[in-house]
Amino acid sequence: MPVITYQDEQYVSKADESVLDTLLRHQINIPYSCNAGVCHCCIMVSDSIKHPCPANLGLRDTLIAQGYFLACQCKPTDAITVKHADEYDIFADALVIEKNMLSDTVCQLKLHSAIDLYYRAGQYINIRMPNGQIRSYSLASLPSYDDYIELHIKRMSNGEVSHWLCDDVKQGDTVEIQGAFGDCFYLTHHVDRDIVMIATGTGLAPLMGIIRDALAHGHQGNIQLYHGDRDRQDLYLDDELQAMAEQYENLEYFPCVSAIEPASDNRFYHGRASDLAFSQNKDLKNCCVYLCGSPAMVKSARQQAYLNGADMKNIYADPFITKELRQTDSTTDMRRRSSD
């Protein structure tokens, strides 16, 4: 079996076991979150430049050339020596230039990165707390128009990072960011295709960026946005989206409320956003579909979009992957902890 050397200690990997799983099995505290190659929290560096393809997924070529890899996706076949990634290579400072509450539970942050950040609207970045916890947030800004990075953060009941960002971080503070990552963004060669977008909660953030990107490129097809949440007040950009839909003939906006029947305003649809979207779009053969929000919604909507005729390669998804906090000994270096 392959031997993994970490901090001068050797650990034997089991068959088909990732570097991350091997180290965790031996009670080694490694930062990680999604365990799916999405969040990039478990990035490490090794003495081997060649890794299985999934281990390099989404990393910059310059990092790959230096031996960086995703520990959760790397299943070594030979002996390998690994160490923590140099944080100066993967994290950068960003200044909080503006902070607003878009609703009682959703905070808008605008950041200036200390380094040039190359990204597409709809991708996501990681933010790291001073204690080492990391969380991913999607980008609502459009790099060709905005001179800042815009994030929408929902205050989660048990989310330490979201509480820190919503309640403690203030304008003028500096936060650490990593990225950008993800392949959920607008493609200009789809300019003539109809687009169906479904978002729950702050899954709206990346879709706002993608809509702006599409319209800026003169998108010719129809764009339908279905935004759903439990209550009307949770549809935190309702007025702005309504104004955009009135401004652009090819943009339709469908606000959906699932908790109770809307009483007076018939603009609001009662039920799940995905149910309404698929009832109105039974033939998605030539459409692009964007899904952003809870993993359960994204999973079921991806399947339904396929059943309604969408090609899998034209279904773009950004599921919010959250994990419970991995408890570590209080004496352990806090940089080696990751959570939602």
Asked if residue 48 and residue 63 are part of one domain, the reply reads: yes
Residue 159 and residue 216 in one domain: no
Same domain, 194 and 309: yes
For residue 287, what is the domain's CATH number? 3.40.50.80
Claim to verify: residue 144 and residue 175 sit in the same structural domain: yes
Which residues, in sequence order, are bridge partners of residue 225? 197, 253
* Residues paired with residue 128 on neighbouring β-strands, in sequence order: 134, 176
Q: pLDDT under 70 in the chain at which residues?
A: 48-52, 62, 86-89, 260-265, 319-340
Task: Establish if 24 belongs to a structural domain.
Answer: yes
Q: Does the residue 252 lie in any domain?
A: yes
Has residue 209 been placed in a domain?
yes
- Residue 35 φ/ψ, nearest 5 degrees: 60, 30
In a domain, 230, yes or no: yes
Shared domain check, 121 and 70: no
| 325 assigned to some structural domain | no
Q: Which domain holds residue 166?
A: 91-181
- pLDDT tens digits along 93-143: 999 999 999 999 999 999 999 988 888 899 899 999 999 888 899 999 999
Same domain (yes/no): 168, 284:
no
Does residue 122 form part of some domain?
yes
132 and 177 inside one domain: yes
Total structural domains in the chain?
Answer: 3
Instruction: Give 154-168 pLDDT, tens digit per residue.
Output: 999 888 999 999 999
Q: Please answer whether residues 128 and 144 qualify as being in contact, where contact means their C-beta atoms are separated by less than 8 angstroms.
A: no
Which CATH number fits the domain that encloses residue 170?
A: 2.40.30.10
In a domain, 337, yes or no: no
Alpha carbons 141 and 135: distance in angstroms, whole number: 18
Question: At which of 115, 146, 181 does a domain end?
Answer: 181
The bridge status of strand 9-12 relative to strand 68-70 is unpaired
User: Are 162 and 136 spatial neighbours (Cβ–Cβ below 8 Å)?
Assistant: no
Same structural domain, 166 and 221: no
Question: pTM of the full predicted structure?
Answer: 0.77
Is 169 in the same domain as 246?
A: no
Q: Which of 181, 212, 235 is the last residue of a domain?
A: 181
CA distances from 142 to 4, 159, 207, 211, 213 (A): 42, 27, 11, 10, 7
Q: How far is CA 94 from the centre of its chain?
A: 18
CA distance linking residue 35 with residue 58, whole number of Å: 14
For the chain, what is the radius of gyration of the CA atoms? 21
Could you tell me if 248 and 305 lie in one domain? yes
The DSSP secondary-structure symbol of 13 reads P
Residues 246 and 315 occupy one common structural domain: yes
Last residue of some domain: 181, 211, 232?
181
Give the burial class of 209: count Cβ atoms within 10 A of its Cβ; 0-12 exposed, 13-18 middle, 19 or more buried.
buried
Q: Is residue 138 part of a domain?
A: yes
192 by Cβ neighbours in 10 Å (0-12 / 13-18 / 19+) ranks as: exposed
- Tell me: do 309 and 251 sit in the same domain: yes
| Model pLDDT, residue 35 | 84
